[in-house]
Structure 1
Amino acid sequence: MASPAQESTLIGLCDGAVDPKRHQSSFLTNKVGGQPDWQPVLRRQFPRCARCGAPLAHVVQVYCPLEASPYHRNLHLFACSGADCSGRSESWKALRSQCLESEVEPSKVAPAQEASLSASDWCDSADDWGAEEGGDGWGGVKPNRRVEDEPPAEDPAHSDMDVGSRLQVLRLGEPLMDTSLLRSFFISVLDESDLLGEGYDLDHAQELLREYESREGVTVGELNSKEGSGGEEKYEKTRAKHGDAVFSRFMKNISLCPQQILRYCRGGKPLFISEPPSNMAQVVSACASCGGSRTFELQLMPALVSLLQRTDGSAQLEFGTVLVYTCAQSCWKEGSASAVEEVCLVQTDPDQQLFK
């Protein structure tokens, strides 16, 4: 198991649109929006908003197996697009699903797509939190917390897609519901430590950083790419005009790549956009399946907000960052056909207009 100091953070970026005429996605695909691709052993699941009861839109799908674990592993994030709901933690759901390699028929798994991540990209730096020993390793485990299950729906019909605007037109696969899905695109990935390496547009990053400093009256400092600097940034601690030191630190950390839409670092430290709640122990509760602790795994970033639109351009979601905490042991009951619900913590953006 790697120590926290050795962990690297992986950054997700918007890549090509998911074109149903060219791509056949599967649970191995990392993507935003569209229809969720469930593992073949799972029943289709249609979570609803705990606040208003409306069906949730699929926001992000990540394939994230753990090293030394025999399981395929996915996280699906869903959110309510209601105007009064999207910025609330109770209106989001994170569902974790797992299955063994032996439970997957190779003929039913779509091949790797040209714009998507390889199956190992998300797990190269992930800690081994999920290895279980022996066939009786599930003794004493509480039943999985199940989300609302419904009978499988007919495959939705896809409409034409405007490739130039990177949009995908889909229908939400819930019976008797005529609800559009969010526009869909692949997620590409890079290691945060490589941002100062060859091929990254440092001049563009400097320009974005200067624009932020001018707007906010805060000095973050020049990005240092000189050889031998270790890729670190110079940072002058100055309060922003709105006086939010937490937000200033958040902006400093993402200044090399403001267009990042997702950060992945299982067992690492999240980037809070505002002060975390004082009752974090209650917010990040114990795993409902095994009673064990949860650990930070990934977060959605502000740059994703403007991309999350329905096919008619309406019902845009609003958030600052969405932090996802998952079972530290990644517990799973073999033979389960329902995903396990994890914890989402939504923080609003104190300066949302910066990302429009």
Structure 2
Amino acid sequence: MATSIHETVLIGICDGVIDQKKNTSYCTNKTGDRPDLLPVITLQYPTCALCQRGLSQVVQIYCPLAASRYHRTINVFACTNPQCYGKSESWIVLRSQCLDDGIKSRQNNNTTACTESAMSRTDWCDEADDWGMDDEEQVAESSVQMPNDSTGEGNYVSSRLQDLCIDGDHQSALQPTDVPVFQPFYISVMEETDLDGFHDTDHENELLRAYEEREGVIVREIQSCESGEAQEQYEKATAKHGDEVFTSFMKKISFCPEQVLRYSWAGSPLFITEPPSSVSQTVPCCAHCGSPRVFEFQLMPALVSLLSSADTNSDISLEFGTVLVYTCRNSCWESGSTVPVEEFLVVQPDPDQKLFK
């Protein structure tokens, strides 16, 4: 998401394994597992366009937009067939929406606050605080008035709906038994500007040193004590592989290499390899309303190591550098629709995947 003044980037980080005995809902941000459907949605399970195998869920993101009455969930699926790795055709992204009325009709007006911890609930909004926010603060924050933009431009992800959860009507997609399931993890959220000083940097520095030695590029972080804000300064150098885009990518995520997702509605994606000369022409307009699509979020290399099978007797994996997700700027939705809208994504391979293993 973006504002007219600056662009806010939210970071998603793994926040522990989801207990298989505990039901999740459409408002749960998670990796792996089976998709949780909004009450009115019916999902015909997606298959790979290349090999026709059933696709496994990679992430589920609950991300309602301000100036919208809709609950809104995005599910990303991918093929675990090694022959399909790195190909956008073997992935699919689906957007589902539902009005409160649709939920209330299923729940007989019985909605309760999510009992998940604040760390595992959605905070895809400009007002999101750090991970320590308690329930009272969450409720107070949900009343913040967000900018209203009927065109969809400049929209923030709404916090108004972030704490809603449905009690007693857990609805998961019926997944074919032969489709692999990735082990589920909660995703926690924080602003990128809050990363400085939050993490233990020993592991990050170890990764950076290994990268410097291998690629012949020097990366240095300099902290500004006067402003209290993290400042980054890098010596100019050329990586051995000559990939300046990848070098820039590494610098950008150096504060938090373990991030699994970056969210910036209508913001700027972080490319890991050279993008097409005209990205706007590569991303098609919405097939339903004809509006342009905007960048919404991307999956990061650190997610790869988390994507192992939920079945201990099965061995599956997935490889990618980053996956860029673009959605309809107007987040169009036909009243009464029960079928998710397919959006657009781009899969970029990682030129140095072993760095994140």
With the length of structure 1 as denominator, give the TM-score of the two structures: 0.82
- List aligned pairs for 1:149-298, cutoff 5 A: 173-175=174-176, 177-197=177-197, 199-228=198-227, 230-278=229-277, 280-298=279-297
Q: Is the 8 A contact 1:4 1:267 kept in 2?
A: no
Unpaired runs of 5+ residues, structure 2, are 129-145, 153-170
2:65 aligned with 1:66: yes
Distance 1:352 1:265 in 2: 24
Could you tell me which amino acid in structure 2 is paired with residue 193 of structure 1? T
* Residues 228 and 294 (structure 1), Cα distance of their counterparts in 2 relative to 1, 3 Å cut: same
- Correspondent of 2:120 among 110, 117, 124: 117
Kindly indicate whether the alpha-carbon contact (under 8 Å) linking 1:41 and 1:337 is maintained by their aligned counterparts in 2. yes
CA drift at 1:223? 3.8
User: Larger deviation: 60-69 or 278-287?
Assistant: 278-287
Which residue pairs with 1:143 in the alignment? Answer: none
Measured at CA, do residues 218 and 5 of structure 1 come closer, stay the same or move farther in structure 2, by a change above 3 Å? Answer: farther
Provide the residue aligned with 1:321 in structure 2: 322
AA in 1 matched with 2:121: S
Aligned residues: 317
Percent identity reads 52
**Cα contact 1:75–1:95 (8 A) shared by 2:** yes
* Contact 1:206 1:222 (C-alpha < 8 Å) held by counterparts: no
What are the residue-to-residue correspondences of 1:38-53 with 2, within 5 Å? 38-53=37-52
SS across alignment from 1:215:
helix
* Distance in 2 between residues matched to 1:351 and 1:5, nearest whole Å: 34
Name the stretch that deviates more: 69-78 or 203-212. 203-212
What SS class does the counterpart of residue 209 from structure 2 fall into?
helix
Q: Secondary structure at the match of 2:221?
A: coil
**Aligned in 2, Cα 1:288/1:111: closer, same or farther, shift over 3 Å?**
same
Q: Shift in Å at residue 115 of structure 1?
A: 6.6
Alignment-derived partner of residue 84 in structure 2: 85
CA displacement at 1:28 relative to structure 2? 0.5
Q: Displacement of 1:69 after TM fit?
A: 1.3
Q: Which amino acid aligns with 1:242?
A: H
TM-score where L is the length of structure 2: 0.82
Shift in CA distance, 103/132, structure 1 to aligned 2, threshold 3 Å? farther
Unaligned runs of 5+ in 1: 134-154, 157-171
Deviation at 1:346, TM superposition (A): 0.2
CA distance in structure 2 between the partners assigned to 1:128 and 1:56 by the alignment: 37
Alignment correspondent of 2:9: 9
Given that 2:55 and 2:179 are in contact with CA atoms closer than 8 Å, whether structure 1 keeps it comes out as no
Whole-angstrom CA distance in 1 between matches of 2:235 and 2:318: 33
Listed one character per residue, the Cα deviations across residues 99-133 of structure 1 (whole Å, up to 9, x for unaligned) are 112211364778231275334x1133699687479
